[in-house]
Amino acid sequence: MSEAAANQASESYLSRGWRLRDWLFTTDHKRVAWLYTVSITAFFFLGGLAALVIRLELITPEGDVVSADAYNQLFTIHGVVMVWFFLIPSIPNTLGNFLLPLMVGAKDLAFPKLNIISWYIYTIGGVFTIAAVITSGVDTGWTFYTPYSTQYADRAVVAALTGVFVVGFSSILTGINFIVTTHKMRAPGLTWFRLPLFVWANYATSLVMVLATPVLSATLILLILERMLGIGIFDPALGGDPILFQHLFWFYSHPAVYIMILPGMGVVSELITCFSRKTVFGYHGMAISILAITVFGFLVWGHHMFVSGQSLYAGLMFSFFTFLVALPSAIKTFNWTATLYKGKLIFSAVMIYALSFVGLFTIGGFTGIFLASLAVDVHVHDTYFVVAHFHYIMVGGMVTAYLGGLHFWWPKMTGRMYPEIWAKVAALALFIGFNLTFFPQYLMGYAGMPRRYQTYPEDFQILHVMSSLGAGVLAIGYLLPLVYLLWSLRWGKRAPPNPWRAAGLEWRTDSPPPKHNFLEPQTVTGPPYDYDTIDNK
């Protein structure tokens, strides 16, 4: 960089290097974040497309749009793609990748090469699975229960499992990177209890990724070997126990649901404080809750198996711990609400996203409590009640938080502002469409509508039709941001370094930031979310 250029303005990480290999071989965490953003957006729309066909099929009680097998493959693709290729990497690998080093005042992640490798692993694993699934089909559901998956389901089960297995490594690498960065690369003065909650959330998420993902890998190895080499570990004919698979699977997959919500909680804490112009209510409580969720999250996996025939006492313990794990979430919900108290609230699009999150997550969480209540779960297990529960948390909660965060940091990431009006329209459309889609599913679930059903008794039709209508609204709601965010890349207003007057180190540098994030080393002297000082300057 020449003297003159350095004096004018920093050169942003986007301004130079637009050949293909400048992107594909980059080690800059900000560019890797973009690579991830592009990949997960593609996977999201693919998973969404599958959801739309599912909803189309369910408009009528008969199986008239696709064949029975095709339907089963659709919800399998939908679940696998949405969970492993979209939601797990969503916030950590896009916003987290971009912001974590900025927020701790570092020049990059601790292992930039691992970071780009992790993207390759993820994308190759994902594309491989999709190719396998589309060419020959997998119909096990995202849970791969044995013995169906090992002995009865034909087609590309091994390929799909391999893909998921490979993608697991990308989670692990990201986790290692985040943990080490948070531990070792914080700016001077940035003590643990001065970290933004977004960093806390991603740190905790990484812990789960690192500790739980390998167990999934082990399980998948056993499953793959069982199918390929004909060894029998879960096969009842050999004295194996199919339920053991469920234990191993949920030992990963329950903690994984916290991978899918903690980052969202982190994002929402940032958004709500900024648009309330106030520090978060109970900062310590918020940070400790995050850790508590992480730890307790490892003790509750058996709540997916209340009717599978585990011992009554196991069921009892798992139910008990499930109630406990909901407590920190309760603290967080109440603290977000209390943060508004005596704030100066600005209802921007970002704030609407954040508040939708709080409402929808609460409903999803409540119904989680229903499911944790043993006797109730016996009735609603494997019905649409469960489907509604997790969509409320994963779509209503996490996807909403992701979109909110994307809007909030869009100016930082791109240097452009998005059109506020359209963003508000999309946020409202999503809120309404979402409730229309998934609230009826609670009702039909308690009424006895089982999940993974292509055909169903006529009585449920009216609720299914409502749900399908809602999915249509959702589709529009998700296409809108795609369009106007892309539009803003070219025609959006230029963004100043700190358009929201937000706290946090990432706002102290240019939009978009220079290659090494900050022109001079940062130091931190106070607590996070110090909006009083900012506003009274």
Q: Which of residues 384-443 bind ligand HEA (CB under 6 A)?
A: 386-387, 389-391, 393-395, 398-399, 437
Q: Near another protein by CB under 8 A, which window of 14-22, 48-56, 329-337, 480-488?
A: 329-337
Q: Assess 87 for contact with ligand HEA (CB under 6 A).
A: yes
- The vertex-84 CA angle with 81 and 90, nearest 5°, equals 100
60, 461 Cβ separation under 8 angstroms? yes
Q: Residue with structure tokens 């106030």?
A: 278
Residues of this chain, 433-492, that bind another protein according to CB under 8 A = 443, 446-448, 450-460, 462-463
The size of the chain, in residues, is 537
C-alpha distance from residue 530 to each of 280, 457, 533 (Å): 9, 57, 6
Q: Assess 92 for contact with ligand HEA (CB under 6 A).
A: no
Q: How far is the CB of 486 from another protein (least distance, A)?
A: 30
The Cβ of residue 385 has, within 10 Å, a number of other Cβ atoms equal to: 25
> 496 is in the binding site of which of Cu ion, another protein, ligand HEA, none (Cβ under 5 to 8 A by kind)?
none
347, 421 Cβ separation under 8 angstroms? no
| Alpha-carbon gap, residue 519 to 393, rounded angstroms | 40
Task: Give the one residue of 23, 49, 128, 465 binding ligand HEA; rule: CB under 6 A.
Answer: 49
| Alpha-carbon gap, residue 147 to 127, rounded angstroms | 27
Strand, coil or helix: 234: coil
> 54 is in the binding site of which of ligand HEA, Cu ion, another protein, none (Cβ under 5 to 8 A by kind)?
ligand HEA
| Alpha-carbon gap, residue 103 to 145, rounded angstroms | 41
Task: Give the one residue of 316, 421, 476, 489 binding another protein; rule: CB under 8 A.
Answer: 316
Q: Assess 524 for contact with another protein (CB under 8 A).
A: no
Residues of this chain, 305-334, that bind ligand HEA according to CB under 6 A = 322, 325-326, 329-330, 333
Tokens of 64: 């008239």
Q: Residue with structure tokens 């803003």?
A: 488
The smaller minimum CB distance to ligand HEA, of residues 79 and 504, is found at 79
Task: Give the one residue of 14, 33, 40, 83 binding ligand HEA; rule: CB under 6 A.
Answer: 83
Beta bridge partners of residue 450, listed in sequence order:
383
69, 45 Cβ separation under 8 angstroms? no
The smaller minimum CB distance to Cu ion, of residues 110 and 387, is found at 387
Tokens of 417: 């502002």
Q: What is the binding site for ligand HEA (CB under 6 A)? A: 45, 48-49, 51-52, 54-55, 75-76, 78-79, 82-83, 86-87, 141-143, 257-258, 260-261, 303-304, 322, 325-326, 329-330, 333, 362, 365-366, 368-369, 371-372, 377, 381, 386-387, 389-391, 393-395, 398-399, 437, 451-453, 467, 471, 474-475, 478-479
